[in-house]
Structure 1
Amino acid sequence: MDQNSREVKTHCSYMDHGGCGIICTVENGRIVKVKGDPDGWLNQGYICPKGLASPHRLNHPGRLRHPLRRVGARGEGHWERISWDEALGEISERLDEIRRREGARAVAFGLGMPKGLDHFAQIRLANTFGSPNLVASQDVCHAPREITGVHTCGFYPVVDFKEPSELVVLWASGVSTTNEEGAICSQLYKQLEDGTRLMVIDPYRSRLAERAELWLPLRPGSDAALALGMINVIIAEKLFDAEFVDQHVHGFAELAAQAADYPPEKVAAITWLEPEQIRQAARLYATAKPAALAWGNPIEHTNQAFHAARGLVCLMALTGNLDVAGGNVQPLEPKIAGLGPYVRADLVPDKRKEMLSAAHGVIPRFMTIPPAFLRRAILEGEPYPVKALFSLGTNPLMVWADSRLTKRALESLEFFACAELFLTPSAALADVVLPAAASLEFDDIGHYGIGHGYILARPRVVAPPEECRPPLQICCDLGRRLAGEELWPVDYHALLDMVLEPSGIGWQEFMAMGHLEGPHKYRKCEAKGFRTPTGKVELRLSTAEKFGLPPLPAWEGFAEDTSEEFPLVLTGRKNKAALHSSYRWVEELKKHDPEPITELHPADAVRLGINDGDRVRLSTRQGSIEQVARLNQRVRPGVVFAEHGWWFPEEDDPLGGWERSNFNLLTSAAKLGKEFGTPNLAAIPCRVEKVE
């Protein structure tokens, strides 16, 4: 190695949920190379295209490098440079004025997907300000699985890729593409090499599906029905774990009666599968010991997210695959700060009653605000008006359902400020924009609060540009002005120390360790039962009537069905080189897929007169966009996969051409799942036409 070079070990982050150990080569203060760390605790050397390209965010010429104040109308693209003191002063003065006039709940705080401690620092900022309204993406990501698990079995059932399984089920889980929430695909590949069997449930025939013993290309959005069909077979054929059911399950008879209404023949018509495929899947999952079910984010993309998650937890319980090594487990956290004290939940004791969601009857313990409810509060004053928003690392114009509704809401705010790396379409509508430091430019802790039983050290590799501040530091700076110096430190490193304090180690020692893991304990239920009111896994929720929840998983039909005008089923799809709408300005990522792609089966394309590479118009009852057709045998016939998060920062448009190919111009927030306020981002009837 050149004597002017040095290597720094850290963990990848902000390009996904993170978790991969990486080694960065630094020359003259710049990262010139990134590679996977062979000693990486989760990835063992694996790295994805996003991780390889991550340094290219740091030195991009279009990156935000100083605070901006809007000049002229929102969205016109006219800005003036201001100092940090001016920016922080204006944000704090405007938010405080609204708090004094309307109350703290009239100010909302926003987040994108959880990436690091910034997520919890922003929650702390909202709580110390006094606002119960922290708006985030949990309505369509993580919470339906986590909170449903908590109500059903007392914990979030995490797939265990660390211990060997006889069978792994990938249910809507693109683990080789997204490495969701620390479930790194290299761990699964190692198991497959060692003989673990594989079942894939997904309308897209991935390369992992090709390796599977069984692939079920179900209709998007029919997950709850398939789960009930499999439960029907498992109970009818007495394939359930009788000992576990007898000792640890509540409501078996009620679930059996419910599942009797979902024989494979009925479910096959809903899911576009064959009855024998459903029977085969049920038998394979029920007889493999242990079996791990990796349930992916797409099951949370319809208003039936609660029923889908309930059905899958019931499957885990019926087969005795809960709380066992190689199944779905309850990881124990290491000795770290609890979430409640860390975010100062005590400062908003009436949050459950005061938050916007309270008026909509969401499920208890779901404590972030679905975007649909924020927009109603802004545009309709329901259940009370929200006048201001401060957001951190999120692009709602592109990622929330019904983008036109989002634009109206953002434009209607009395005050909107955000912190970003780049002037995104959403940031272009703000009053004040703060330039954030990127990951690899500040110290951080990963996986805190996600429920996986470990945290990861993310030491900084290089310094940020002079006026770019870490998101954690931005929260500290605003917190000291808005909530008081006694509640916020001067230096954000104190927020890292707060997490580590119960462990008895400091940041420097944690960096050297790399990760901190909780103890591995299985079958805890044998001694303590489950943390539910009955002490058992609740196939029938004992709290259903109290909380206004459906007591049993059910199939309630599609929010919209296909028709002669809209005969195909549309769903979204991620690729390895993209993270929602993030980093569309990074050429090294964009070169993998330079244009937004719509994938459809060749048989559908022939019928529609569409060739590979044609520009096509996708239309739903909500609107139309244009993308480029790619014919792909891996797509299930009758299904269309379109990429989401597309905007075009290279265009001479302050909003980055947000209307041309934006998937969320096709989605609606009119029908929401009651439990989580979840809109339909999948299973949408659509039409595809060649653009002449």
Structure 2
Amino acid sequence: MTSTIVRAVCPHDCPDTCALHVTVKDGVATEVKGDPEHPTTAGVLCTKVSRYAERTYHKDRLLFPQKRVGRKGEGRFERISWDEALDIIAGKLGAIAARDPEAILPYSYAGTMGWLQGESMAPRFFHKLGASLLDRTICAMAGGTGYKYTIGAKVGTDTEQVQNARLIIIWGGNPIASNLHLWTRAQEAKRKGARLIAIDPYRSLTAEKCHQHIALLPGTDAALALGIMHVLIEENLLDHDYIAQYTLGFDLLKQRVREWTPEKTAATCGITAGEVTALAREYGAAGQRGEPAMIRLNYGMQRVRGGGMAARNIACLPALTGAWRHAAGGVQLSVSDSFPKDNQALQRPDLMPSGKYPRTINMSTIGDDLLRESSPEFGPKIDALVVYNSNPVAVAPESGVVARGFAREDLFTVVLEHFQTDTADYADILLPATTQLEHTDIHGAYGHLYLMANNPAIAPLGESRPNTEIFRLLAQRMGFTDPCFSETDDEIAAKAVKRNDERLIHFDWSSLKKTGWAKLTVPDAPFAKGGFPTPSGKCEFYSAAMQKDGLDPLPGYTPPYESAASNPELAKDYPLAMISPPARNFLNSSFVNVQSLRATEGEPHLDIHPDDAAARGIAQGDTVRIFNARGSFHAMARVTDKARAGLVVGLSIWWKKFAADNKNANEVTSQRLTDMGRAPTFYDVLVQVEKLAQ
């Protein structure tokens, strides 16, 4: 029996982007392990990806093209050939495009983070077709927008430096579940004497292991950052030299934060004034001592009305104290802009029909948009939807509306998938896509600085095909003869980065496939001497770009849409705030169908504070109904003080078909958008909870 090790990459939406070693025996992948030589992976995988072979060979893998034979949503299909599937799709899309190509919409996100399977041949196809564009906002657009107004790009602290920090603030994240390799380095820093502080409405697994947990109200992170700035300035815990050389607008910032006293901040955030003052003093004192203080800013805190401003406010903090001077200081939201990716070469926007730029549909409002009729303002009704690398019926907000949109009999829907997800149940044509073990790809990362190559370890199972190949075949059926539709995956990967960029000046795709990964050539401390990629070249406390875009140019606070303080009338009926962070054993909606992981997670559950449970006659293990005017879902109650009083936490995202009531937490979330970035407000929700008859 022959055995080989193939170098691969975890494709999932996680900052760690792990390097994999796949053991293959006689054409079968028998084991997936972390690459022990890759500096951030260090041979360790999360419980999810360590079972990747189980997922690839899952008994429910989609292996053949299928055509719907039942009603939409029933999930009844019959097997057809690839030729028949391609003919049906090309015929439908061609007829719709002849009327108006903008009536066709692609819908995709981060089911794979690979640049080939996610961002190359599919965009080329839809650009050539003239289809509507998709605004891919559903995860990180709010925070990314606010961060970029301040810092200039999604660049920040290198994860490989975190173990050298003396103070680590984990703000709005749970890295034990979703950023394991940064957490490993944070634990190393802790053993070396660093102090760890978690800021999160929920006492997550990570918060439990930090020295301190500050449980603020959802949606008030921007206010806490303003309060910290107030104390730093009032108590002169500042790096005046750094401020003078490398920042813009300090005097205006000083005036703005004057009103944000610890008392006002505490009242807004639902914490104590002492917590505000102590946190600011601790952060400022690290700067005064010349010790690196690092903020890991994650995505949970931005999924509220003021989420973009919250990320912006927090991004101001390291410039006030000079934390950027240290390689282990500063802030990390994402480092994805560190990679010199060549989107023009990958996606070929030049293929779009000249003279008319297609409309853009926001993926976070897909429910409403699928139900809109044609109008001068909206444009043509969406007549065709092609879904790949996403499961919108489960993950998009206000799920009941989303499902009604997908249930339209006049909507032609194609879904590329590994499994029959909630979304796949609504497909007219269901196409089997390959998994990461079966295709080629090239990856950047948003949590480390390594460019990575994924080599196929096994032949595609059944008749599954890579996304790139599926869209090549569709391009042929549609009569697209541009040479770019004949490029192989290797040819596309070879031109995926800007070759003259000094960060990857020696890039060679053939070599990268052999080595598996290569680190970018970037400074250890990216902004130690300024050089911010903003219009001014400085950290912008005052942003002229924000003013030009109609936004407040200074840090501020926008209260949530739904909270007891901002909407007391709504809170009379729905008094509990709700957040729905990822469950440890799932990754968004991926892995929910892997039995071993679902068994570990148990069933959908809701964490509720003992006081809130007692007021409703709810006991541990009771089945409860969580509801508001948008919808409802059922879960098992876990009575725990991990959820602060007034907050319930439904760990997500379950496939609806695996829940007893065929619903998940997105039944109650809203399609309203954030202050900037047009992103969803998943954690800006008020609900009521009631016990169901057992």
TM-score (norm 1): 0.89
| Residue from 15, 19, 22 that aligns with 2:20 | 22
1:150 Cα shift? Answer: 2.3
The aligned residue for residue 175 of structure 2 is 175
Q: 1:383: Cα distance to partner?
A: 2.1
Aligned mates of 1:683, 1:675 — CA distance in 2? 15
Are 1:37 and 1:44, in contact at CA under 8 Å, matched by a contact in 2? yes
Change over 3 Å in CA distance of 1:207–1:624 after alignment to 2: closer
Cross-structure match for 1:665: 667
Indicate the residue corresponding to 2:126 in structure 1. 126
Aligned equivalents of 1:287, 1:453: Cα separation in 2: 30
Match of 1:444 in 2: 441
**Relative to structure 1, is the Cα distance of residues 22 and 429 closer, same or farther in structure 2, using a 3 angstrom cutoff?**
same
In structure 2, C-alpha distance between the alignment counterparts of 1:511 and 1:8, rounded to whole Å: 10
RMSD: 2.8
Q: CA deviation at 1:20?
A: 2.2
Distance apart, 1:140 and its partner CA: 3.8
Do the aligned partners of 2:246 and 2:529 also contact (CA within 8 Å) in 1? no
* DSSP-derived class of the 1:672 partner: coil
The equivalent of 2:423 in structure 1 is 426
Tell me the percent identity. 29
* Residue 613 of structure 2 is aligned to residue 605 of structure 1: yes
State the partner residue of 2:413.
416
**1:243 offset after TM fit, Å?**
1.2
Which residues of 2 match residues 531-542 of structure 1 at below 5 A?
A: 531-542=533-544
Q: Once the 2 structures are TM-superposed, how far is the Cα of residue 662 of structure 1 from its aligned partner?
A: 0.8
1:579 is aligned with what amino acid?
A: L
Instruction: Report the secondary structure of 1:162's partner residue.
Output: helix
Partner of 2:187: 189
Going from structure 1 to structure 2, the CA distance change for 1:615 and 1:523 (only over 3 Å counts) comes to: closer
Deviations along 1:425-480, whole A, 9 cap, x unmatched? 111112111101112222222226x5854311222222221300122322333344
Is it true that 1:156 corresponds to 2:151 in the alignment?
no
Q: Which residue of 2 aligns with 1:356?
A: 360
User: In 1, are the aligned partners of 2:141 and 2:679 still within 8 Å (CA)?
Assistant: no
Shift in CA distance, 527/435, structure 1 to aligned 2, threshold 3 Å: same
Partner residue of 1:366? none
> Which amino acid in 2 is paired with 1:417?
V
CA separation of 1:39 and 1:533: change in aligned 2, threshold 3 A: closer
Gaps of 5+ in 2: 500-504, 565-570
Matched residues in 2 for 1:50 and 1:56: separation? 10
CA–CA distance in structure 2, aligned partners of residues 331 and 674 of structure 1: 22
Alpha-carbon spacing, 1:21–1:525, altered in 2? closer, same or farther (3 Å): closer
> AA paired with 2:621?
G
Pick closer, same or farther for the CA change 1:374–1:101 going to 2, 3 Å: farther
Matches within 5 A, 1:394-543: 394-412=390-408, 414-447=411-444, 450=446, 452-482=448-478, 483-489=480-486, 491-499=488-496, 502=499, 506-521=508-523, 529-543=531-545
Judged with a 3 Å threshold, the aligned counterparts in structure 2 of structure 1 residues 380 and 569 are, in CA distance, closer, same or farther, namely same
Question: Match for 2:204 among 203, 206, 214?
Answer: 206
- Which string of whole-angstrom CA distances, capped at 9 and with x for unpartnered residues, describes residues 301-353 of structure 1? 11211111111112232222347411237969888652233222333498996
Equivalent residue, structure 1, for 2:344: 340
Q: Is the 8 A contact 1:476 1:491 kept in 2?
A: no
Taking structure 2 as the reference length, the TM-score comes to 0.89
Say if 1:249 and 1:537, in contact at 8 Å, map to a contact too: yes
Residue from 374, 378, 385 that aligns with 1:383:
378
3-state secondary structure, aligned to 2:650: strand
Among 27, 31, 34, the residue aligned to 2:32: 34
Cα distance in structure 1, aligned partners of 2:211 and 2:356: 46
Q: Which amino acid aligns with 2:296?
A: A
CA change 1:528–1:293 in 2 (3 A) is: closer
Cα distance, 1:277 vs structure 2: 0.3
State the partner residue of 1:46. 44
- 1:636 aligned to 2:637? no
What is the count of residue pairs matched by the alignment? Answer: 666
Counterpart CA distance in 2 for 1:21 and 1:530 is 30
Distance 2:626 2:30 in 1: 40
**Cα pair distance change 1:125/1:176, threshold 3 Å:** farther
- Is 1:425–1:658's contact at 8 Å kept on the other side of the alignment? no
Any stretches of 5+ residues in structure 1 without a counterpart?
358-368, 650-655
Q: Secondary structure at the match of 2:159?
A: coil
Q: 1:15 to 1:549 in 2, by over 3 A?
A: closer
Q: 1:403 to 1:519 in 2, by over 3 A?
A: same
Give the one of 276, 280, 283 matched to 2:281.
283
Q: Using the alignment, how far apart are the partners of 2:515 and 2:86 within structure 1?
A: 36
CA contact (8 A) 1:249 1:536 kept: yes
Counterpart check, 1:105 vs 2:106? no
Corresponding residue for 1:247?
Answer: 245
Query: Could you tell me which residue of structure 2 aligns to residue 646 of structure 1?
Result: 654
The 10-residue stretch of structure 1 (524-533 or 62-71) with the greater mean CA deviation from structure 2: 524-533
